[in-house]
Amino acid sequence: MTIEAVRLIGPGVDRVDGPLKVTGTATYPGDFSYPDMAHAVLVRATVAAGRIRGVRTAAAEGAPGVLAVITHRNAPHLNRGPDTPFWRQPPPPLQDDRILHFGQYVGVVVAETAEQAHAAGHLLDVDYEAAEPLLELDDPRAEVVTDPWGMDAHRGDVAAGLAAADSTVDAIYTTPDETNNPMGLFATVAVWDGDSLTVHDSSQWPEGVRATLAAAFGVPESGIRVLVPFVGGGFGAGLRVWPHVVLTALAARTIRRPVKLVLTRPEMFTGVGHRTRTIQRIRLGADRSGRLTALSHEARDSIAVEDDNFEPVATDSAWAYACPNADVQDVQARLNIPLPTSMRAPGQAQGNFALESAMDELSYAIGMDPLELRLRNYAEEQPQLGLPFSSKGLRACFEQGAERFGWSARDPRPGSMRDGSWQIGYGMAGVSFFWFQPPCQARASLRADGTALVGSAATDIGTGTYTVMTQLSAELLGLPLDQVQFSLGDTNLPSAAPEGGSGLTMALGSAVHSACRGVIQAFLDTVADDPASPLRGCRLEDVTAEDGRIQLSHGPARGEAYADILARHSLAELTADGSSAPPKPEDVGMVPAGAFAAQFAEVRVDPDLGLVRVARIVSAVDGGRILNEKTATSQIIGGTVGGIGMALLEETVTDPTGRIANATLGDYLVPVNADIPSLEVLFVGEPDRFNPIGVKGVGEVGLVGIAAAIANAVFHATGRRIRSLPITLDKLL
């Protein structure tokens, strides 16, 4: 597959949407209002399992300003959203009297003002018949789901490999529930006009919202428009269509007026997903030279009682290193918990912590440098399939990252490096991130005034999609940035992939590439028989676009401007649609590669207080071709901050009743500026061969590996191996 030569590469440009955001004029879902708009508030269950025995609504219905009170007793039948290639949408709300988790919606109150709705919500009296909830991963009563997508992997004979090993590791690692907590509270505004519906929603996938609402209410998708020009963060929380979105549309249909619903922070903890907790067993075997003889990764993670959201934790361990004998398997335990969802680097964040911690343990068991152990087991080709990767710069990540970090200065003995009373530790981790590229479409139009409009129904959750797609469009069409407008966040635009899984840049970028080439072809078709055009009879492969004109690649003097062609043919614009869908690996003889990275961390530990301070982190990343180094670096830094939170701070605590005990940002700890040290990012590697623009996604790879690198550095500093996140002072004292 040939890779398009793209020139707008380097330090990058400022975000094109930056001025709107810093001036407060960017419109987020909660900013939209309509005349005669009412407000909805949710009422949540105060038990984690059982049934609703009775509901008394009279007091709430008689409260000032109240327009409707909806419970399972008067809600209409709602259909579940359609299955997607990625996950199932959550079950529709208010369909029966069962309680499956604490915080489940048992009612919605609609009033003239948000304050009136909140006041009336407290008057809704719900009587429960509580049952004992299932809350623990190892509860033998929990239903267990095994390998629902057929992603467990096996090769060779792990038992024989372990028996033949000179050194082994057999350890249990655990990670807790964590909550996405984007800065912007999720909001939905719904407006019906007959059977047509307009929705503003905090979504990372507008088309998923449209399909789910169409199914729920039995109306055509063509009559639903979802608008998401800006999202106040997501980290995966906006990928599924949550019950509050359906309830907002239901409330608007019930009172026949526009309705707005804005979640509170505690509702964000129970209503828009979380990263699942895990228990993982890693078994590794190696010979005296450090070559792996066996790798086994067994993961058990949580899922809600009635949900189908599978994000494998162990799968990527099967191909992270060259090992002849490997077994990886995932099981899920059904619990009375809020529905989980993707959280930045889903599955990989938890699985990498276990694998890379175990690799570190193995290096000490063998007496080998942790970096050398990883290099010795470097997988030149995909071990499970035996095919080469479409690109792989992980070796360069290891080598250049180690040099930039100063890894060679590390004293290998645990507890040997000090600065006064502080214990100093160096740790590292390797990252082989999964590949994800769903189908996507885009449209490009060139207009008589020489400007271009390019668009797709994708979203930008702060990753820089507006900017890099504007850059890419400008480059492919040969226009200055200020002459290109990129539109997104509107289901009236061509169909788009979800903004998640680090796949949108590949998917959307390839579709934009197709659309831009298509519109240039449309110009060539227009002048194909035009005797006045110097481009008459030219083929697409013969031309390039530059300075607002199409010209011959090897004779740039021969060409003409878009505006001149349109004017001569009395056209206002020319438009082309483009699409992208990746080829099958077996058809092209290679395995599509996601991003790779090596993470290096230095920590300082106070042995008397158990305090851990991260002193610096170096991330070396193979992200393929980097379209905008500035926004890409920002993504790696953001992911690194999330990784520091995962390692040292973040844990969603559920008490024995099933209630989340720390459902505020005052109690759920996230990193702040004082927690963040010097963060250095370097990009290595070459353009990827699996898509025409050579890119990979980098939105999540910056988080993966950070928790393991920090935990490994803590061991190097103290000699204490922490296998359970977060690393808190009680585990070090």
Tokens matching residue 674: 């004082």
In this structure, what token pair is assigned to residue 470?
Answer: 């504007």
407 closest CA partner among 369, 449, 353:
369
CB neighbours of residue 728 within 10 Å = 16
Provide the 3-class DSSP secondary structure of residue 262.
strand
Query: How big is the chain by its Cα radius of gyration, in Å?
Result: 27
- Tally the residues of the chain: 733
| Cis bond before residue 258 (omega within 30° of 0) | no
**Which of these, 93, 122, 119, 89, lies nearest to 106 by C-alpha position?**
93
Q: Whole-angstrom Cα distance, residue 651 to residue 730?
A: 14
Of 311, 651, 680, 700, catalytic? 700
- Pairing between β-strand 278-286 and β-strand 292-304 as defined by DSSP bridges: antiparallel
428: β partners: 600
Using CA atoms, how far apart are residues 303 and 281, in angstroms rounded to an integer? 19
Scanning 527-658, the segments in alpha helix (DSSP H) are 562-568, 585-588, 629-648
Alpha carbon dihedral 527, 533, 536, 539, in 10-degree steps, equals -80
Residues with Cβ within 8 Å of 613's Cβ and at least 6 positions away in sequence, in order, are 603, 604, 605, 606, 677
Helices 629-648 and 348-366: angle between axes, nearest 10 degrees: 70
CA atoms within 13 A on the CB side of 493: 31
Please say whether the dihedral angle defined by the alpha carbons of residues 11, 16, 21 and 27, taken in this order, is positive or negative.
Answer: negative
Distance CA 509, CA 476 (A): 11
- Give the bridge partners for 407, in sequence order: none
Measure the CA–CA gap between 624 and 622, rounded to whole angstroms.
6
372 is catalytic: no
511, with CB counted inside 10 A (0-12, 13-18, 19+), is: buried
Burial (0-12, 13-18, 19+ Cβ within 10 Å), 404: middle
Which amino acid does the sequence have at 686? E
Contact 483, 451 (CB under 8 A): yes
Which residue's entry shows tokens 């071990």? 383
Q: What is the DSSP string of 146-175?
A: E-TTS--EEES-HHHHHHH-SEEEEEEEEE
Q: What phi and psi values does residue 395 have, to the nearest 5 degrees?
A: -60, -40
Round to whole Å and give the CA distance between 568 and 546.
20
- Which alpha helices (DSSP H) does 492-594 contain, by range? 504-526, 562-568, 585-588
Annotated catalytic residues are 700
